[in-house]
Structure 1
């Protein structure tokens, strides 16, 4: 069992925002709520799957919906602890069992933090793993689903205090559509708790060690900054990836559609990249990238934009004129196989490409 302190949560949010690849929730809010947890004496516990009784039930709490457009001026209504705790109690009543810990839905600055926050309120641990190994836009992008598990029963809550019990779905696409539809009607976001499983199952289907990995990434960024080193280069080294582009955001075309932020971001090259344009297709997260219309990174591989301070850029905060460096890296191995690619490969997003690993694509640009 690891007890997280202020330094740990700083590094967690830095690293989770990087693995959030443009999505994953609001890192500023994530950091703020975890600091508040520590300030009021709550304990932030991180444990491995082997440290809990294998017969205990764990579940996954998260926010679902579109991330705000960079042009959005309307603040979204936040969720109170009371709303989330009532959703949890309803969920336990449906399940017929108490929860003894939580698993994050993804690694992102907001959604990983909210799982840890809820765990601290209840004096429970967050398990060191998640369902994606990065941030992802759709509920189908879950290693639980990949391994044949249902995500229901679930409870869906609005920020206003409306609660819906979802006992089972006919298809995960219908589940997605209903959750997104509700989110679109209630300020763009809902709180969801789903994926109830025993620890013994969770440890076999979740991506183990991903929360610790995010903390390690944050430590590397912090160390590089303190030593005056190039963060992008150190990050690429850590992720077995590549620093492929440096430039300035020239324009973006991002709109909220069907409960997602969708569109393109165009980065005009600087320095050695001055003759090139990088285009990133976004569906909440950075999904697909091209340099001069040639593919450079395909899903599920990682496309990470870093700002001038070396921190991950979330797509709700981009602006024209922002200078960025772009690191690409292999995605989690759990997705880089035929079944995983059916779920989160290029064709699953409507692109007429067979998946090629980023390691092969970058050879065209080196």
Structure 2
């Protein structure tokens, strides 16, 4: 059991942002929200499954939606609606407890991302619950079925949803995670492209064999390496690659970044002209919230489930999609996929073919 302080949270959420591969929500907003909770005397307590009883209930709070910045059109569309007085994910969590009539002991993040991991942490802090050191993705992922819960047949329902206007719903039955994705995404689209969700309610006994244990500790390790290198003046990409057994893929300058918000996702394509050892070459990444597939000189270079990560060289900051800017100097590097995603079923659910690309998994780590 570890009581996390501000420096711990800073390192963890930076690590989550790096592992978010362009998605996973806003690091800035995540840090602001967890710091506010600490300033108000709330505690963030990280535990292992072994510190929980087998019958303790655990739930997964997160936001579902696009990572696109809000447009003026969106702002005007929703400006007449009053905002909820409490954090939507906290309301959703409390609604789920009321629905089942039982106490939920702990939370677990749905993915590793600067925003969405912070959501789980916030819910734990504001409701007095534990944070479990685990995760069902080991990175950020764009869709609800992209989870080890789905790989292990853990039911997603009941699901508690609340949007920023305080409108709420409990879904008691759903056919499967793919159908849940369709339903939740549709509600996000009509809720300013984001909605709070709490789902995968189950016991510690079930979930400890259904997630990637130690995922938060891994993000903490990556974040520490990054932040230490930044403070001490070392190469931050080299530090992350060393900490995560990764590889450098490309470096250069952004020459094009085109994106749009489609059906609740941020979908785009960034093109980079190489420099240094990569001069004369081009690199292209296609993203659906997260970076999914990349080409070097029109030849596929790497695909999910490996982590395609990007770093703004000048600012020494991980890049959140769609915030590539023309002229930005970037380094693209990869970290290996969690082993759970490299199985036959894992690749069926979260390999390149699941996104419509006619290619098998391509990896620099195989």
Fold conserved between structures, TM > 0.5? yes
Kept in 2: contact 1:104–1:115 (CA 8 A): yes
The 2-side partners of 1:85 and 1:270 are apart by 46
SS of residue in 1 equivalent to 2:108: strand
Distance in 1 between residues matched to 2:134 and 2:184, nearest whole Å: 24
Tell me: CA distance 1:79–1:280, structure 2 relative to 1, closer, same or farther (3 Å): farther
Match of 2:50 in 1: 50
2:196 corresponds, among 191, 194, 217, to 191
Q: Does 1:153 align with 2:189?
A: no
Q: 2:213 aligns with which of 186, 190, 208?
A: 208
Measured after TM superposition, the shift of residue 234 of structure 1 is 1.7
In the superposition, relative to structure 1, how do residues 194 and 81 fare at CA in structure 2: closer, same or farther (>3 Å)?
same
Q: Secondary structure at the match of 1:22?
A: coil
Gaps of 5+ in 2: none
- Are 1:91 and 1:154, in contact at CA under 8 Å, matched by a contact in 2? yes
Matched-pair contact (CA < 8 Å) for 1:69–1:255:
no
Aligned to 1:333: 339
Say which SS state the counterpart of residue 303 (structure 1) adopts.
strand
| Aligned pairs (5 A) from 1:208-287 | 208-287=213-292
Deviation readout 1:304-351 (Å, 9 max, x if unpaired): 001123321100322222111111121111101101000000110100
Supply the RMSD in Å over aligned alpha carbons.
1.8
Larger deviation, residues 291-300 vs 277-286: 291-300
Q: TM-score, normalised by structure 2?
A: 0.94
Task: Give 3-state SS (helix, strand or coil) of 2:11's partner.
Answer: helix
1:46-80: CA deviation from partner (whole Å, max 9, x where unpaired) = 11111111111010000001111598786699765
What per-residue deviation string (whole Å, max 9, x for no partner) do you get for residues 157-214 of structure 1? Answer: 1111111110111132221111111111111100000000101111111111111111
Q: Are the aligned partners of 1:70 and 1:316 in contact in 2 as well (CA < 8 Å)?
A: no
Deviation at 1:224, TM superposition (A): 1.3
Q: Pick from 72, 88, 91 the counterpart of residue 86 of structure 1.
A: 91
Which residue does 1:349 correspond to in 2? 355
After TM superposition, list the pairs within 5 Å mapping 1:102-113 onto structure 2: 102-113=107-118
Given the superposition, is the C-alpha separation of residues 184 and 71 from structure 1 closer, same or farther in structure 2, using an over 3 Å criterion?
Answer: closer
Q: Deviations over 1:245-297 (max 9, x none)?
A: 11111111211111111121111111221211111110000011111111221
2:317 aligns to what?
Answer: 311
Q: Deviations over 1:205-237 (max 9, x none)?
A: 111111111111111011212232111112112
Query: Which one of 312, 321, 330 corresponds to residue 324 of structure 1?
Result: 330
Q: Which runs of 4+ in 1 moved over 4 A?
A: 69-80
- Could you tell me how far apart the structure 2 residues matched to 1:359 and 1:150 are? 32
SS at match of 1:38: helix
- 2:209 is paired with a residue whose SS is helix
CA separation of 1:72 and 1:46: change in aligned 2, threshold 3 A: farther
Q: Matched residues in 1 for 2:73 and 2:87: separation?
A: 27
How far is 1:114 from its partner? 0.8
Q: Is the contact between residue 83 and residue 159 of structure 1 (CA under 8 Å) also seen in structure 2? A: yes
Q: Note if 1:165 corresponds to 2:170.
A: yes
Aligned mates of 2:166, 2:230 — CA distance in 1 = 42
Q: Number of matched residues?
A: 360
Counterpart for residue 120 of structure 1: 125
Q: 2:89·2:196 contact (CA, 8 Å) conserved in 1? A: yes
Q: Secondary structure at the match of 1:263?
A: strand
TM-score under structure 1 length normalisation: 0.94
Deviation at residue 89 of structure 1 after TM alignment: 2.4
| SS of residue matched to 2:283 | strand
Aligned to 1:137: 142
Partner of 1:364: none
